[in-house]
Structure 1
């Protein structure tokens, strides 16, 4: 679903040049950028070398723009183009010759002073910077894609303030499935769920699990899968505890299975975590995992998260246990693979994204009195204050690998301050 979403993103490169530097020179430079960016799917407009050419740019349907400063003497053109795309993410690209980077820096500093832009400045130097430029492209594409995302909130009769703020800040749309509609769909889907129950059985170690209690949680997955298809949606969320109290089983299995299918799915109707789960899927190709902040040792810099909806595809072993708080069926205990992760969180007002690189030390159900999947991580902290003084949220999302750079770009697209713990 998410991969389908990014195909609709339209990113355009706008090359800027001064005729003083000679057309042969800057067309040769342009060919270098065309080889790199066209391979990624970026479209190019004609070279902009005059104010009249700025007016001729077709702005329809453009989601983000890469301004390429082929030569110096282009800062005014850069500002004029940027003003035409003030509401779009703008990547400003300079290179090391013919005062290109000087014009890029001049444009960037003046636009920052004007305010109201989401800017990513970059100097292309060949070599490894090709990789960095590709990472910028993928991060911009992912963040822009979220603006086109459609989210289904299950068991919701009305949109609350959290959902409304998410739509305002991220730009995604939300479809509500009411409790009465959900109940009806659950009843209608039971026959199909019973027939396809082996899809669940194959995913988990079910030793000690009461298999008679698996049908209802799996039926919710079948319903969610159908609703996503029906509404042409890309992600799912649900407010777990009201649902559990009403239906007497958890949505944990359904959310875990959706995540395994590449569909971001967030518990507790946490739209900030859903934003990060969607970024995790687009940036890494793997599901993220929501974790509750559970414990922190300021001496060892070891951090513990716990939660119950982990996707099996990021674990080396998974089983089912009664839900921690309610004892209802079922929560997932998963043992995450030992590797490097990025942890990320967004503040309640969407003004800050905080991240850290972390190494997994141990995971699984390590102790009682906590959610069933637990993870102890050693994190890299750049700020000497204890983590507890820097937290921007309870829920954090673990993402496979080190994607701090990509997240810093995504934060700029959303107009968030980016910090590293």
Structure 2
């Protein structure tokens, strides 16, 4: 792990003497990280792009003015390493107040070496994820479904806050790729998942082959545009092709390509962030029933990734009875429910619970789970961030809260 250490010191101090008093701090840093030290007067001309983290070492009191001179040239967020001697911490507090007034994110790193080591490693991981998100390419194929009236975003604000590029793609480009899918490849894909499924109900093998063609066309579109994530106006497929994107989206998610339906940008962004933070494949679903007395929420959708299902059944798409949807049976146990929304993707909800039942109603989307989600009913009934929410197996609220607290 490569750290740039910006040395900030008052000019009234002899740096060689100060560095001797900080020998144990340097030993700690060099024993755990690859350190490149940069004097504050060299900051303006330094390239910080190749470092895992940039830390500003506030070595002495009286260094505040020198920090102010280089403030505009420092990468964000700004981390201040303050120690218990040489009036380092008082100076860092003054600097922190200055930074906060500029509206820039900053934090003081201070404490025992063991705690600092854990915190710095966490910040490095945070920076890696944050950088990856800022460079992400998210494709919107078609436009958002007409009924997503509460899921619209200000793309400029969202891009400014998070940094990803939202790429509009026409449905016609997808249809063109669909026409050129190799029949043999679609046949092999269909056979593979037919053999893996517990059974097939309303759908037939022809439906499955056509669903596989949709998957292969979307995969090609993803490759052509170098997409990290995508969402598609999937009900257009029903009207034009008499089939759905449910299988395609499930398989893309299984392959690590974040894929959501209905052109829902907040939902697919939440899915992408969830997978980056937790390493788990997410499932986009609708809350379909709320038992506020028991704090139990039922979720359902037709696009569950096969990799998170104990077993799965090939079904038709619930609303239309066409094409191929997936009824996944999920393992009972720990789960996290997560959603990011708001005009600039600045709001979020996260809660931990337990999957307590797989259901099989004919009046809901095919994969159906009941989740015991303590103290969450009021949120869904009063403050919900639109309809789609993201299901992640395991308990991950702590890492999500820690990450988003830095935003």
Q: Check whether TM > 0.5.
A: yes
Alpha-carbon distance in structure 2 between the residues aligned to 1:243 and 1:63: 45
Flag the 1:255–1:230 CA change in 2: closer, same or farther, 3 A.
same
- 1:79 deviates by 4.9
Aligned to 1:33: 29
Query: Which has the higher mean CA deviation after the structures are superposed, 271-280 or 163-172?
Result: 163-172
Q: Secondary structure at the match of 1:310?
A: coil
1:138 corresponds to which of 108, 114, 125: 125
Alpha-carbon distance in structure 1 between the residues aligned to 2:196 and 2:70: 52
Aligned to 1:14: 5
Aligned runs of 1:66-105 on 2, under 5 Å?
Answer: 66-69=54-57, 71-73=59-61, 74-85=63-74, 88-94=76-82, 100-105=88-93
Alpha-carbon distance in structure 1 between the residues aligned to 2:131 and 2:225: 20
Alpha-carbon distance in structure 2 between the residues aligned to 1:163 and 1:109: 31
Alpha-carbon distance in structure 2 between the residues aligned to 1:102 and 1:75: 10
- 1:305 deviates by 2.0
> Does the aligned pair in 2 maintain the 1:344–1:353 contact within 8 Å?
no
2:37 corresponds to which of 20, 36, 46: 46
1:215 corresponds to which of 209, 225, 229: 209
Q: 1:123-142, CA deviations, whole angstroms, 9 ceiling, x for partnerless residues? A: 45344554444333323321
- 1:289 deviates by 1.3
- 1:255 deviates by 0.5
Alpha-carbon distance in structure 2 between the residues aligned to 1:262 and 1:163: 27
Flag the 1:299–1:141 CA change in 2: closer, same or farther, 3 A.
same
Q: Secondary structure at the match of 2:298?
A: strand
Matched, 1:330 2:324: yes
Aligned runs of 1:257-406 on 2, under 5 Å?
Answer: 257-350=251-344, 352-381=346-375, 387-406=380-399
Alpha-carbon distance in structure 2 between the residues aligned to 1:204 and 1:79: 63
Query: Which has the higher mean CA deviation after the structures are superposed, 219-228 or 361-370?
Result: 361-370
How many residues are aligned here? 392
Alpha-carbon distance in structure 2 between the residues aligned to 1:384 and 1:126: 42
> Does the aligned pair in 2 maintain the 1:72–1:100 contact within 8 Å?
yes
Structure 2 runs not aligned, ≥5 long? 145-150
Matched, 1:240 2:228: no
Alpha-carbon distance in structure 2 between the residues aligned to 1:163 and 1:244: 28
Aligned to 2:96: 108
Aligned runs of 1:401-416 on 2, under 5 Å?
Answer: 401-411=394-404, 415=407
Alpha-carbon distance in structure 2 between the residues aligned to 1:303 and 1:384: 8
Alpha-carbon distance in structure 1 between the residues aligned to 2:108 and 2:288: 37
> Does the aligned pair in 1 maintain the 2:9–2:59 contact within 8 Å?
yes
Flag the 1:178–1:71 CA change in 2: closer, same or farther, 3 A.
same
Alpha-carbon distance in structure 1 between the residues aligned to 2:204 and 2:195: 15
Alpha-carbon distance in structure 2 between the residues aligned to 1:213 and 1:278: 29
> Does the aligned pair in 2 maintain the 1:94–1:100 contact within 8 Å?
yes
Q: 1:78-110, CA deviations, whole angstroms, 9 ceiling, x for partnerless residues? A: 555543247x33444546666555444443333
> Does the aligned pair in 2 maintain the 1:63–1:144 contact within 8 Å?
no
Alpha-carbon distance in structure 1 between the residues aligned to 2:265 and 2:316: 25
Alpha-carbon distance in structure 1 between the residues aligned to 2:340 and 2:124: 22
The CA RMSD over aligned residues, in Å, is 3.4
Alpha-carbon distance in structure 2 between the residues aligned to 1:75 and 1:292: 52
Aligned to 1:188: 180
> Does the aligned pair in 2 maintain the 1:139–1:409 contact within 8 Å?
no
1:58 corresponds to which of 47, 59, 67: 47
Flag the 1:328–1:384 CA change in 2: closer, same or farther, 3 A.
closer
- 1:63 deviates by 8.9
> Does the aligned pair in 2 maintain the 1:29–1:70 contact within 8 Å?
no
Flag the 1:97–1:246 CA change in 2: closer, same or farther, 3 A.
farther
TM-score norm. by structure 1 comes to 0.80
- 1:162 deviates by 4.6
